[in-house]
């Protein structure tokens, strides 16, 4: 019964708060300690050895993994629910690395050649999710699905075979129940195509989790020390995970000459590393007024941030706005432009798309993309994508209102910060 489910969802956070209080009073610890020890207790000694071995990747990922965990552990304003979300995701990352290590013993990833992938690299909130979902409707295109990027390996047990997908359906349902307005801002289908940042988390490279705590200075300092060589290794691991995902699909994989389409805002700041791993990669760069994207992503992330802190009214929105605007993880436009200016010989790889056109005439944009990359657009594929456009109008799940003023940002400030991006990419 929906009534009982709603009552359960309402009461559960308070039950966890009570348990946390009892743990602190009686055991002098938190319900979710957020320590390395509390995570490792879930694994055997042998499993820990496999996770930390350098047979998969070098261990620099573990430093970032532990640093951001420490940032959350020391955040006095983090809610019990927020602590549980962090502990769950950090545990999943360790489980993912273990499962990947085990799977490699039984698969030959060389049988899965990812050829000429297309990366959608536009800023967050510039129409990239809609564009990826639209292109995914073409049966000859494929992308990682949400439940796959959360759990790249399907374990060979009957219980896990169902739980991987159903777990994410339940978790997304709980998220939208707790914060209904998120459905209108950024609706996610567990079985639909999704972006790559969850795969990068398995290398200790976080994106969204940098915006749910204000205590991130140590992690950001570590991230600034990463070398080009380390980023190349991160993308090799990205490719490895995708090969495992595609091979597990059986008939629905890249061996059937499917066009792979990735999507992620952080890719724009890492083009050199991507091309080291995917030398025949192509890119779709979306443009939207950065004043609009900045205001929209601030609204999205601040609503999620509010669920992680005990006193949402105490969030420093000025600092949050500055941090969000300046993060190349959300908007790598300036970094992308610098790469393109330094490498004019790579111009043939980049198809530029305007957000205004995506909204006004999405099928026209699709045809331009297919023409640019020399892809075949049959009547059947066009019909399937046109149906998706009809069934998914803008604001289908509600209107998303946002603005810069709430974060004490001005249009002049935003446009000045993204001056390189605007001058290079803005349609004339």
Residues contacting residue 139 through CB under 8 Å, at least 6 positions apart: 380, 381, 384
Q: Mind listing the domains of the chain with CATH numbers?
A: 117-210+218-425 (3.40.50.300)
Question: For residue range 283-328, what is the model confidence (pLDDT) as tens digits?
Answer: 999 999 999 999 999 999 998 888 888 778 788 999 999 999 999 9
Residue 187 CA to residue 122 CA, distance in Å, equals 18
Residue 410 CA to residue 162 CA, distance in Å, equals 48
Q: List the one residue out of 225, 162, 157, 227 whose CA is nearest residue 190.
A: 162
Residue 158: what pLDDT?
Answer: 44
Residue 1: what pLDDT?
Answer: 46
Residues contacting residue 44 through CB under 8 Å, at least 6 positions apart: none
Question: For residue range 360-376, what is the model confidence (pLDDT) as tens digits?
Answer: 999 999 999 999 999 99
Residue 157: what pLDDT?
Answer: 55
Residue 19: what pLDDT?
Answer: 72
For residue 258, what is the DSSP state? Answer: P
Q: How many CB atoms lie within 10 A of CB 43?
A: 16
Decide: 156 and 270 in contact? Cβ < 8 Å.
no
Tell me what the mean pLDDT of segment 121-137 comes to: 97
Strands 259-263 and 282-287: unpaired
Question: For residue range 150-200, what is the model confidence (pLDDT) as tens digits?
Answer: 999 987 654 544 578 898 998 888 888 877 888 888 889 999 999 999 999
Higher pLDDT, 426 or 319: 319
Decide: 417 and 326 in contact? Cβ < 8 Å.
yes
Q: What's the N-to-C CA distance of the chain in angstroms?
A: 55
Q: How many CB atoms lie within 10 A of CB 18?
A: 12
| Order of strands across the sheet that contains 141-142 | 141-142, 259-263, 118-120, 282-287, 350-354
Q: Measure the CA dihedral 341/124/293/305, to 10°.
A: -140
Question: For residue range 65-107, what is the model confidence (pLDDT) as tens digits?
Answer: 999 999 999 998 999 889 999 999 999 999 999 999 999 999 9
Counting other chains too, the contacts that 400-404 makes at CB distance below 8 Å and 24 or more residues apart are 400/181, 400/184, 400/185, 400/296, 400/299, 401/299, 402/295, 402/296, 402/298, 402/299, 403/295, 404/291, 404/294, 404/295, 404/298, 404/321
Q: What would the two tokens of residue 415 be?
A: 């446009």
**Concatenated DSSP letters of 113-142:** ---S-EEE-PPTTSSHHHHHHHHHTSTTEE
Residue 2: what pLDDT?
Answer: 53
Q: What is the pTM of this model?
A: 0.93
Residue 174: what pLDDT?
Answer: 83
Which helix (H) or strand (E) segment is 310 a member of? none
């Amino acid at each position: 019964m929906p009534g009982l489910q709603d009552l359960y969802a309402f009461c559960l956070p308070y039950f966890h708060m009570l348990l946390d209080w009892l743990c602190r009073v009686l055991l002098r610890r938190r319900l979710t300690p957020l320590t390395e020890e509390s995570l490792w207790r879930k694994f055997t000694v042998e499993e820990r050895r496999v996770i930390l071995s350098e047979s998969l990747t070098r261990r620099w990922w573990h430093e970032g993994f532990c640093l951001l965990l420490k940032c959350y552990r020391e955040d006095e304003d983090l809610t019990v629910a927020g602590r549980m979300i962090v502990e769950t995701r950090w545990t999943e990352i360790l489980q993912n690395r273990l499962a990947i290590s085990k799977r490699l013993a039984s698969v030959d990833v060389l049988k899965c050649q990812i050829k000429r992938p297309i990366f959608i690299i536009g800023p967050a909130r510039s129409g990239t999710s809609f564009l990826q979902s639209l292109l995914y409707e073409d049966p000859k295109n494929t992308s990682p699905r949400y439940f796959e990027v959360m759990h790249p390996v399907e374990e060979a047990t009957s219980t896990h075979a169902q739980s991987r997908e159903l777990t994410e359906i339940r978790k997304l349902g709980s998220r939208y129940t707790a914060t209904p307005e998120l459905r209108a801002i950024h609706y996610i289908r567990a079985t639909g195509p999704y972006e790559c940042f969850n795969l990068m988390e398995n290398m200790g490279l976080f994106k969204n989790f940098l915006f749910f705590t204000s205590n991130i200075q140590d992690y950001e300092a570590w991230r600034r020390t990463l070398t080009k060589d380390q980023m190349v290794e991160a993308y090799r691991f990205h490719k490895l995970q995708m090969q495992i995902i595609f091979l597990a699909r059986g008939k629905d994989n890249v061996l059937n000459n499917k066009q792979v389409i990735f999507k992620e805002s952080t890719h724009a700041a890492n083009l050199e590393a991507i091309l080291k791993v995917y030398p025949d990669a192509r890119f779709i760069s979306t443009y939207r007024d950065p004043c609009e994207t900045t205001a929209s992503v601030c609204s999205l992330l601040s609503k999620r941030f509010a669920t992680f802190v005990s006193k949402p009214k105490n969030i420093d929105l000025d600092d949050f706005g500055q941090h969000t605007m300046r993060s190349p993880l959300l908007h790598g436009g300036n970094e992308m432009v610098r790469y393109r200016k330094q490498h004019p010989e790579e111009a043939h790889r980049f198809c530029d798309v305007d957000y205004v056109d995506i909204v006004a005439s999405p099928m026209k944009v699709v045809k331009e993309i297919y023409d640019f990359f020399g892809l075949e657009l049959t009547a059947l594929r066009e019909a399937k994508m046109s149906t998706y456009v009809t069934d998914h109008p803008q604001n289908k799940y509600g209107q998303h209102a946002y603005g810069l003023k709430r974060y004490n940002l001005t249009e002049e400030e935003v446009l000045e910060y993204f001056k390189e991006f605007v001058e290079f990419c803005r349609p004339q």
